[in-house]
Amino acid sequence: MEEEKRIAPRILFDSAVRYRQKGFQSYSNTVGKDISNSGIGFISNEFIPKNSKLVLELHPPWHIEPIQAVAEVVWVSSQPYSERFKIGARFSDPIMTSL
């Protein structure tokens, strides 16, 4: 059994997420899966390598303005029977005060 490595509990985050890799200009749109003070999980249509730096815009329904965050990809998992990937990313700075 694999040891749980998360340092903060996750909550469901079925909300809009825009992201781009640092150094790139165009954003991709997706929906979050889960979020915590320390990181986020989301689905991507493209492979994003581990250790990639991301610029994120989070759009929770309870927050008027998007929340800006920077994160690093810590794991990538291909989705069965799909060409999509689940991404786990750790925030550079905690964001819970914004959530």
- Specify the pLDDT at position 98: 52
Binned at pLDDT 50, 70 and 90, residue 1 comes out as very low
Pure H helices in 3-82: none
Burial class (CB in 10 A: 0-12, 13-18, 19+), 14: exposed
Give domain limits for the chain: 11-91
- Specify the pLDDT at position 69: 94
- pTM here? 0.84
- The CATH number of 11-91 is 2.40.10.220
Q: Is 9 helix (H, G, I), strand (E, B) or coil?
A: coil
Q: Is 32 helix (H, G, I), strand (E, B) or coil?
A: strand
Give per-residue pLDDT as tens, 13-69: 999 999 999 999 999 999 999 999 899 999 999 999 999 999 999 998 888 899 999
Higher pLDDT among residues 38 and 4, named by residue: 38
**Residue 29 token pair:** 């749109």
The secondary structure of residue 8, as a DSSP letter, is S
